[in-house]
Structure 1
Amino acid sequence: MDDEQNDLAARVEARHSRDRVLDSGALRALAHPLRVRMYDILSTYGPQTASSLAERLGESSGSTSYHLRALAKHDLIREVPDKGTGRERWWERPDGGVSFGSPETITSPAGRAASQVVMSEFLRNRNDQLLAFVGHGLDRIEESWRDSSLISTATTSLTPEQARDLTLKIQALVDETVDTYRHQQGDDVRRVSIRADVFPLPDLGDPS
């Protein structure tokens, strides 16, 4: 590993050393399709109430309120201080990354099952967002946003070391952008999804 890669690795490691590693209890609390969607909305759009989440998700506010309390019990979300009333509480997801890869989770069958549910729901939501953008968003957004968007897939041949170098560069760039602009506001500012996938493909003939 050369000096540049060492520096990138150190930056990425330092940035994500503060990430919360979910224990099995928190992971099981999150392992519900509606809770994942609620958590995703809070992560993406910021503070919400049970009523606003219910409206977005086509659920009753009683249902979303129940699931919010379940998430809050494991500190996955928290009540926004000094906002709302006794009848209308606001909830937010704390800043910072979250990891599902605790040793407890990886080695426990229940933990692996919960992790699979959570990841499957996150990826399904993510894919739905992309398909909605391709199907309806491209003809509705301003030209400046259309020119600023990117949907790209590429395939190449890499060694594990080269793949790690690429992932470090991508992660460092994403981290820098998120940390700089996370709370930016303005007339031309919109929430933007940043997606990066680097993974080995199966050999031809391998079972899917």
Structure 2
Amino acid sequence: MTTPQRRLDAAALKGLAHPLRVDILDSLAMAGPATASLLADRLGESSGATSYHLRQLARHGFVEEDPDRGTGRERWWRMVPGGLTLAATDMREDRAAMDSTILVARQFADQRARHVDTFLRRGEAELGPAWVDSSMLISASVRMTAHELDELTDAVEAFVSERLTPFRDREEPPEAKVVALHVNAFPVVGVDGDGS
């Protein structure tokens, strides 16, 4: 079964364009469903702030109440199933939407860096050598055209999607952990001496 991808439009993107909302989504993705109070503890925020931003995220279709948890007084929230696609090409005609795209993309990039940093600092001590040995951080560079880069990113996306499909919607083994997979492919700006 393929997990559906949601391509963000300008209205949805503007609803996500707040650092705490992106952090809430990341927390729900990494640690699972939570209440506003639990998210406040995880993120070092007030429960009033997380509650407000959860309602905004729900209004824009990013999160939903978890029907399997909670009581009348305790609301549990989870991410709406599926991935998110942020495409700058959809926003070029709307400067405010483009600014929101950049803000959200930068917040996601900051989260990735924080996750990598935490893994490097604490991974071996908290998870053990088997988890560290099975992980990888790769960096490579090569010269290519925009068309070649487009073909490469399409191929990598298809490969990753195919390889992750067996791990979705299954009975998780007790020793399973949340694993983040980040693939970046972009032209390096400012190295050719022409500002491009």
Give the structure-1-normalised TM-score.
Answer: 0.83
| Residue aligning to 1:6 | none
**Is 2:30 the partner of 1:44?**
yes
Output the CA distance in 1 between the equivalents of 2:47 and 2:6: 29
**Is 2:150 the partner of 1:187?**
no
**Partner of residue 154 from structure 2, selected from 157, 162, 168:** 168
Structure having greater relative contact order (Cα 8 Å, sep ≥ 6): 1
The 1:147/1:82 distance shift into structure 2, 3 A limit, reads: closer
* Alpha-carbon offset, residue 58 of structure 1: 0.9
Asked whether the 8 Å contact 2:88–2:98 carries over to 1, the reply is no
**Partner of residue 109 from structure 1, selected from 95, 109, 119:** 95
**Which shifted more, 150-159 or 95-104?**
95-104
**What RMSD over aligned residues (CA atoms) do the two structures have, in Å?**
2.3
**Is 2:195 the partner of 1:204?**
no
Deviation per residue, 1:46-75 (Å, 9 max, x gap): 221111111100112121111100111111
Which consecutive unaligned segments of at least 5 residues does structure 2 have?
A: none
SS in 2 for 1:20: strand
Q: How many residues align?
A: 194
Report the AA paired with residue 19 of structure 2: P
Deviation per residue, 1:81-128 (Å, 9 max, x gap): 242111111111122222222766331011011111111111111111
| Residue aligning to 1:98 | 84
SS in 2 for 1:201: coil
Deviation per residue, 1:2-58 (Å, 9 max, x gap): xxxxxxxxxxxxx99952222222211111110110011122332211111111001
* Alpha-carbon offset, residue 164 of structure 1: 3.5
**Partner of residue 118 from structure 2, selected from 127, 132, 150:** 132
**Which shifted more, 150-159 or 110-119?**
150-159
Report the AA paired with residue 132 of structure 1: T
**Which shifted more, 186-195 or 94-103?**
94-103
| Residue aligning to 1:146 | 132
Which consecutive unaligned segments of at least 5 residues does structure 1 have?
A: 1-14
The 1:16/1:167 distance shift into structure 2, 3 A limit, reads: farther
The 1:204/1:161 distance shift into structure 2, 3 A limit, reads: closer
Output the CA distance in 2 between the equivalents of 1:17 and 1:65: 27
SS in 2 for 1:138: helix
